Structure 1
């Protein structure tokens, strides 16, 4: 049982890193630091979008609009941290 908890905790950690990478990439594209016409940048951006968007879409529907600021990755990361801590609390 402990191995399963460690595996799920590691997957949650990896998904949090993917969320952070997706947010940073979206900022870099928005501020024209990198260009999505580059095939590698486009492929990475498309992959990150496909992985993170299903979870973020549900949170964006619930959160009110804060102008141009998207707080859904922050909310999702906080929920994932809560889920991971809850998992460790009940598994121990």
Structure 2
């Protein structure tokens, strides 16, 4: 049971860091620190978008339209925190 918990926790950690990288990169692009005309920046950006867009699009279906403000990453962060709490409590229960 402990190894399953560690694997699931690792998956949630990877998702967390990918989301953090995507958010920071979006800020840097919007503030024109990074430029999408640079091939490496564009590759990383489009790769992160391809990873996260399926998750964010599902979340956006249930959220009200807020022009200029994307709340999907915030909801995804909260979901990861909730999943971590559930995993931690269930592992403690089974051990």
Same fold (TM over 0.5): yes
Aligned-residue Cα RMSD (Å) equals 1.1
Alpha-carbon displacement from aligned partner over 1:20-73 (angstroms, at most 9, x marks no partner):
111111122122221111111011101111111111111111111222011110
Residue 83 in 1 paired to residue 80 in 2? Answer: no
User: What is the count of residue pairs matched by the alignment?
Assistant: 92
Could you tell me which residue of structure 2 aligns to residue 52 of structure 1? 52
1:1-92 residue pairs with structure 2 within 5 A? Answer: 1-92=1-92
Q: Which stretches in structure 2 are left out of the alignment for 5+ residues?
A: none
After TM superposition, the runs of 4+ consecutive aligned structure 1 residues lying more than 4 A away are: none
Structure 1 unaligned blocks of 5 or more: none
Structure 2 SS opposite 1:33: coil
Distance across 2 between alignment mates of 1:73 and 1:35: 22
User: TM-score, length-normalised on structure 2?
Assistant: 0.89
Which range is displaced more, 82-91 or 25-34?
Answer: 25-34
Alpha-carbon distance in structure 2 between the residues aligned to 1:65 and 1:16: 24
